[in-house]
Amino acid sequence: MSAIRKRLTDADKAKREEKRERRAAREAPAPVAAPTLGQFVAREDLVRTAAKSTRKLIEDVVLHVEGVAKRHHRVVSCHTCTAPKGCCKLTVTVLLHEVLPIAERLRREGRDTPALRGALAESAELMETMTQGEYRELRRPCVMLDETERCTVYEQRPRECGAAFVFTPPEACRDPAATTVEMARPPTEGVREQLGRTELAIEQGARLVRLEGPYMGVLPRMILLWLEAWDRPDYAAYLAEQGPLAVTRMAAATKKPPSAR
């Protein structure tokens, strides 16, 4: 009799233990996935930080250039330009944070497609393997232009695009051999410091790896890096690997050393 009772007791214990294990499995919290770059961007409101900084820098350029034009009785022709965009067919270099608003807009509007990424990669490769003069000779429109050569991300354009103004007729900008284009020089005081502060804020907010130099490269490459890293939980390691490569390729093409912090 005692042997039977012992066997039943052991069986009951086994059942109770099995029930506890099942209950613990149900109540255990689900594994938390590592956050992606896009999640950090949204959580830290990084698009707003980047856009606000760039808008302020562009506004400062506009005020400066208009002041120069007024003092010297000139006209800033870019304000009414309807000509095909000669200035949007040049090699453009940017810091990574400057094109974050562009990448976010492309994703939000459903424009982040394999075709767009392919076009960005192709354009970046050309900018990175040609001198600025050689690339200008191609007369290749920026990937962000539409079929009528109007910018599709104008409100999110980086500072270098927003700081390009001329006093001569816009049509002259279309001619690669033109020697009569008179550029309006943008102000430089405080620009590097502002760009550096914003870049640091974006790096910290997105938990990027701090590099010896800046996350910097040609415009299409930097947009592409944001898009490629957006949904990756290992984005920090990915960008830390790709960032220096972009700087090296950009420096080789522009024949200038990478800018130090």
For range 218-246, the mean pLDDT:
97
Range with the lowest mean pLDDT among 31-45, 152-166, 236-250? Answer: 31-45
* H or E stretch covering 228: helix 219-229
Q: Say yes or no to pLDDT of 203 above 80.
A: yes
* H or E stretch covering 66: helix 46-71
Q: What are phi and psi of 216, to 5 degrees?
A: -150, 145
DSSP result, 70-126: HHTT---GGGG--S--GGGGS--EEEGGGGHHHHHHHHHTT---HHHHHHHHHHHHH
**Residue 179's pLDDT band (boundaries 50, 70, 90)?**
low
**What are the boundaries of each domain within the chain?**
35-253
- How far from 78 is each of 121, 172, 224, CA to CA, in Å? 29, 12, 28
* pTM of the predicted structure, to 2 decimals: 0.83
**Residue 261's pLDDT band (boundaries 50, 70, 90)?**
very low
| Positions of E strands within 190-233 | 216-218
